[in-house]
Each structure stands twice: as C-alpha cells, then as structure tokens.
Amino acid sequence: MKHTVFEVAAYLSEHKEEFVYATIIKTEGSTSRSQGSMVIDTKGRITGTVGGGELEAYVLSQSLNLISADEAYRYIHFTVQTEDEVSVGVVYLFLLHCTREEDWKAFIGFRRWESYELDHVFGLQMQPSVTLLGLCEGGATIGDVHPTFLSYAQEALNKKTSTLIDTGSWTCHLSLPVNYHNLLLIGGGHVNQAIAELAHFVGIPTQVVETREDFATEDLFTFSKKREVAPTLAEALNNIETNEYTACIIASHAFGPETTKLLLRRNIAYLGVLGSRHKAKKLLASLSLEQKDLKRLHCPIGLDIGTETPQEIALSVLSEVMKVFNNRSGQSLKHQANKMIVVRGGGDLATGVILRLFRAGYYVLVLETEQPTVIRRTVSIAQAIYSGTVVIEGVKASRCNDLKDAYTKLDAGIIPVLVDPKGEQIKRIKPVCVVDAIMAKKNIGTKITDAPLVIALGPGFVAKQDCDLVIETMRGHSLARILSEGSAMANTGTPGVIEGFGKERVIHSPAEGIFNSDHQIGDMVKQGEVIAKVGDVDVIATIDGKLRGLLNNGLKVPQHFKIADIDPRGERSDHLTVSEKAMAIGGAVLEAIDGFLSRA
C-alpha cells in the first residue's frame, strides 16, 4: 500500500521515534523535479522522493549522518551533471532531524489535514529559528505562527504556489501538500470508478455526483472526498464546489448536452465527455459554444494510447487531464531532445525564426554577443542582453547567466538568451538543430558538425559544406526558399525599396565614435532633422518617416556602420511586430526542421 510522507511522519511521531524530514527548497537549472520531500527513519527506510538516483542516495547518506551526529538540521545541495561532468542544475535541500515534541505534534496535525484533503500550507521556517508552521483553509494553524508567516502563507494558498521566502531576517519554505487540482466525476459507472482509483493513487482529490444511489456508494468510491446523490443532476451540483483547478468528466450516457452546458457555465479548467467521434459531432452540433468553451471541452476524451478496459481508459483520460493541469504537450519524453534548437543571433530576422519555432512547440535557446548591434530593437530578442527581459508579440525572452539559468527559463516557458559569441555551449546543449541567424554575410564559426541539422540564413554559407541547408533571405521571388545545395544570393548592399525609397531609408554612421540619441523607436522624424550623434558629429534624417530602427546608446561604431532605419510609410508602419520577411524566413526554418525530424 502507498503511504504518504505525512502519513509515515505522523506514525513515527505518534510513537515518538526520531526521523529526518528532507525537502527540496530550491532548484536551479535542469533537475529531475523542482519539488519533493521524503522521510528517512533510523534504519534508512525511505518514504517519498526528491528525485531518485544519485540525488536520493546522497540525501539518504546525509540524513543517516545527521542522525548519528545528533544534529538538529542541515542544509545540503546536489549538483546535476552531464556525462562530461558539466553542471546543468543544482538541487538545494533542507534536512530536519525530528526529535522534539513540537515537531512530532506538528506532523500529526499536518497528517490530519491531509487525510481530510484540506488545502493547507506547510511552512518550514529556517530563520531566525527552525520550526514548523501551518495554515489551513478556514484559518486553523499549526505551530507558533506570526503575522509574517500568515501573510505569505495566505498568499501561497490563494495563488496555489510553493515558494521560498527570504526577507533577510526571515526565511521560510512554503509548500502545498494537498494537490489543489481536483476532479468532479459525473456518473458512477465503471470508467469513473477506475478514474477515481487512479486519481487517488496519484494524489488528485475526487468528488462524484449521481442520480442513482447504487452508483455512488462508499464501496465504489472509497477515496472520494464527496459523493452527492440527488433526483436531478442540477440539484446534486448545487451542493458541489468547483473552481478553476477542477476537471469535470462526464462518463455516463444518462447525462446529455444539457449537462455539458450546465458545467461549462462554471469556472472549470477541463470538461471531458466520454463518447465516440460520432457522439462528439452530435454534441458540438447541438451546442453553440464560444472559443473559450471549445478549448475546455474535450470529446472524445483521453490520449490516443489504444484503450479498451475501464482501467486503460482511466489512464488515458487522467493523462490528458494532467496534461491540461500542468500545461504540457503530452508528447513522449523520448522526443523532447528533438525539440531543442540553438539559434545563433537574436536580430530582427533571427527573431522571426525564434518566434515561429517557439510557437510550434520547440525549445529555443539563443546565443548572442555581449554587445549586439541590432537597430530594430523593438522586434529583436537580442535586446534582452541590454534590458534583461523583452516581450515581443507576447513571447518573453530573458538574458541568462549560464546554462543552469537557461534551463530554468526554458522550463518556465521563457526563451533564454545567453552570451556566447563563439557558440562554445553548443556541444554541451546537444541540440537537434543549430540555426545560424547572425546575418554577418559570412560564416564566423558555424560548422556542419555542430548538430544533426545545421541551417544558415543568407549569404556566406555553402550547403553541404558549412551547413546542411541555406535559407534565402533576399527579397523577391526566391525569398525563404530552402537550399540543399549552393549558396544564397549575394548581398547587393541596397535595402529593399519602400514607397520609392531604398538606400535613403537606412542611415549609416558619418564617423567613428560613440553613438547616442535622445529619440525613441516609433518617433516621427523630418528630413534634415538631427536624430542622433556619433561622437560630436550629427546624424541627420535622410527622409520623412517613422524611426523603425535605432542603435543602442553608448556603443562605439566605425564610420559607415548601420545605425538607424526610417520607414517612409510613417504612422502606417508597424515597429512593434516582426516583419513579414522575418516571419517568412522563420516559416522556412520551421519547415526544414519539421521535415528533417519526420524523416529521422
């Protein structure tokens, strides 16, 4: 039988036996899990997990050593390394040696809350003193609570987030032991019985509603938090609470479209209706749903794993529910390595590539120089090197200090930008594809052996020599074509013509020196207006229009270096979204990678 960490901790506490409570308080970079705890008794028996493998063996060793040394607590950390001993993550843990009456009493209390599936916060205070604190829904507390704890704990309850709080004078790790996600099962048939069993095993609370008493008995739903039976479903639902963390599953032919409508009026995360594709078509045809409701409604339900029995269907359905709860792809982890793409360069054209890959579900890591010289800064992910974070068309990118930081950002759905002009981290990242989007008009270090697939943008590369594929970047009939042989068209040095203006709309440095400007991208300027200075030399607007590009202040530039871009379309031009050229090139890269992986 599966025992929870609190269940074992409470048992040992009731018998006044010493043990160690070990918990993850923080992680950095790529780790097997970001949360987890376990109990280790004096004989080395473990309940729970913090990640398994070498990490768990290390925690076990440290815990037994803590007991033998009769220490009260210990901070430890474990470095996650690759095969070539490169650090990619760190797990920080706190070990509490439980020998005090107050600790035993606290764990008995936490187990009581857990057994009743009450939402609560488990607080492990580490400074100024080490103690256990708790706050339960409804206001009950454990330990010597104080206003600071209560404030942060209530916030954690409201936001449903575990966190490490460190104010300088007070340090406390707050976690949520009871899964705040929950299931509402409509109908007590074989499938929902199996779902309830499996949900209990993985720690998701369930409620059941029925109109037939024989289908909602304690024998059938032993672990369900609530079983509600009423003459009509509407009456039964009046006594059931749901929230934005609830998944509802209709697994009974007795409940039709009206039930679906009734549940969609509630603020729930997921509504699944068991049935065939034919039933799904009839159901959708009978409903008039908005897009937000269509997104929540799943019919047929479950992931395609080839199911027949109620237990198999339960596994499929609960897998889909957890996919929704955790905002994951539901794809095989085996193929996650095929989702890592490194893009060298973060300028405006590179950003079109990055956005399209990111939106298609790839993990994108961007490598840049310490001082990128992009001018279309509002649509260049490279700008994160200066500002720390940028948001372009709703996609967030952040500068990272190292690979550990980069992997943390990736897990959070943020595009990491790392300073690595020579691409030295590529061999450690081991991406499935490297895209050279530096746009230097020559190859400055990319090799065809950098990854299984290497793609380069624009001139300066030869397919099958420097890279596997070249993407044409010249405007015109061949823009965004994928070249498996030869090179892209040579750079003409003349920008694309907009409303009759070509080279006039791109401004180059009149001298060598430090660039500075009081203008902002998006400003309207007039021909002859001073828009910047390079050293003491004025930079003059060549045409009327909108400033679409402007170099970062403080950069030293040589004479004739590109420093600004004016769009003659003025207010009609869009300086906040990626250009059609960049998106077309991004589409070509996406097509090339998808095609490569489909044949791999």
DSSP secondary structure string, 78-143? EEEE-TT--EEEEEEEEEEEE-SHHHHHHHHHHHHHHHTT--EEEEEEEESS-EEEEEETTS-EES
Phi, psi of 384 (to 5 degrees): -65, -25
Question: HEC string of 239-286?
Answer: CCCCCCCEEEEECCCCCCHHHHHHHHCCCCCEEEECCCHHHHHHHHHH
In a domain, 498, yes or no: no
Whether residue 589 sits in one domain with residue 481:
yes
Q: Could you give the angle at which helices 101-115 and 5-14 cross, rounded to 10 degrees? A: 140
In a domain, 278, yes or no: yes
Q: What is the CATH number of the domain that holds 511?
A: 2.40.50.100
> How many Cα atoms occupy the beta-carbon half-sphere of 135 within 13 Å?
19
Whether residue 382 sits in one domain with residue 457:
yes
Q: What is the CATH number of the domain that holds 272?
A: 3.40.50.720
Q: Indicate the residue among 301, 325, 349 that finishes a domain.
A: 325
The total number of structural domains in the chain stands at: 4
Q: In sequence order, which residues have a C-beta less than 8 Å from that of residue 244 and are 6 or more positions away?
A: 267, 268, 269
Q: How far is CA 74 from the centre of its chain?
A: 31
Whether residue 469 sits in one domain with residue 342:
yes
In a domain, 573, yes or no: no
Q: Indicate the residue among 274, 305, 325 that finishes a domain.
A: 325
Does residue 128 have a cis peptide bond before it, meaning omega lies within 30 degrees of 0? yes
Q: What is the CATH number of the domain that holds 451?
A: 3.40.50
The pLDDT of residue 1 is 45
The pLDDT of residue 442 is 94
Whether residue 536 sits in one domain with residue 426:
no
Whether residue 512 sits in one domain with residue 429:
no
Whether residue 353 sits in one domain with residue 440:
yes
Q: Indicate the residue among 134, 157, 175 that finishes a domain.
A: 175
Whether residue 319 sits in one domain with residue 465:
no
Whether residue 485 sits in one domain with residue 372:
yes
Whether residue 554 sits in one domain with residue 464:
no
Residue identified by tokens 């207010």 is 571
Q: Token pair of 378, please? A: 């509002």
Whether residue 489 sits in one domain with residue 507:
no
In a domain, 576, yes or no: no
In a domain, 110, yes or no: yes
> How many Cα atoms occupy the beta-carbon half-sphere of 343 within 13 Å?
33
Q: How far apart are CA 394 and CA 380, in angstroms?
A: 13
Residuewise pLDDT in 10s, the chain (600 residues): 468 999 999 999 999 999 999 999 999 888 888 899 999 999 999 999 998 889 999 999 999 999 999 999 999 999 988 766 667 889 999 999 999 999 999 999 999 999 888 999 999 999 999 999 999 999 999 999 999 999 999 999 999 999 999 999 999 999 999 888 999 999 999 999 999 999 998 989 999 999 999 999 999 999 998 999 999 999 999 999 999 999 999 998 778 788 999 999 999 999 999 988 888 888 888 888 888 899 999 999 999 999 999 999 999 999 999 999 988 888 777 666 678 999 999 999 999 999 999 999 999 999 999 999 999 999 999 999 999 999 999 999 999 999 889 988 998 899 999 999 999 999 989 999 999 999 999 999 999 999 999 999 999 999 999 999 999 999 999 999 999 999 999 987 778 788 888 888 999 999 999 999 999 999 999 999 999 999 999 999 999 999 999 999 999 999 999 999 999 999 999 999 999 999 999 999 999 999 999 886
In a domain, 128, yes or no: yes
In a domain, 574, yes or no: no
In a domain, 141, yes or no: yes
Whether residue 259 sits in one domain with residue 319:
yes
Q: Which domain holds residue 42?
A: 5-175
Q: How many CB atoms lie within 10 A of CB 100?
A: 15
Whether residue 294 sits in one domain with residue 246:
yes
